[in-house]
């Protein structure tokens, strides 16, 4: 789909107002006196059931890297097995 067609569709889609969780997001636009999301037509859907909106710009997602304890003896055996 071309960018022009997508832009036309974006203007035709009825957008619902943002929800409280959206406050502070950079994708909020004023449209007809109401705050709407420029990305999603129904912002509430993206915050349902404790979800966090994937396109939110005001929330830092924490990635936790769990380091797994490795037995050095088993690791060396595993590596020796791969070399063959």
Tell me how far, at minimum, the Cβ of 28 lies from ligand SF4, in Å: 5
Q: Which is nearer to ligand SF4, 51 or 76 (CB)?
A: 51
Residue 52: count of CB within 10 angstroms of its CB: 10
**Binding footprint of ligand SF4, residue count (CB under 6 A):** 13
Q: What residues does 28 pair with on adjacent strands? A: 37
Assess 18 for contact with ligand SF4 (CB under 6 A): yes
Q: Which of 1, 13, 16, 25 binds ligand SF4 (CB under 6 A)?
A: 25
Give, as one character, the DSSP assignment of residue 1.
Answer: -
Find how far residue 16's CA is from the centre of its chain.
19
């Amino acid at each position: 789909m071309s960018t022009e067609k997508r832009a036309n569709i974006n203007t035709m889609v009825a957008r619902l107002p943002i929800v409280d969780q959206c406050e502070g997001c950079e994708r909020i636009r004023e449209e007809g006196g109401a705050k709407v999301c420029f990305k999603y037509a129904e912002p509430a859907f993206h915050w349902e059931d404790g979800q966090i909106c994937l396109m939110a710009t005001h929330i830092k997602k924490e990635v936790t890297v769990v380091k797994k304890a490795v037995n050095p003896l088993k690791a060396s055996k595993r590596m020796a097995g791969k070399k063959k």
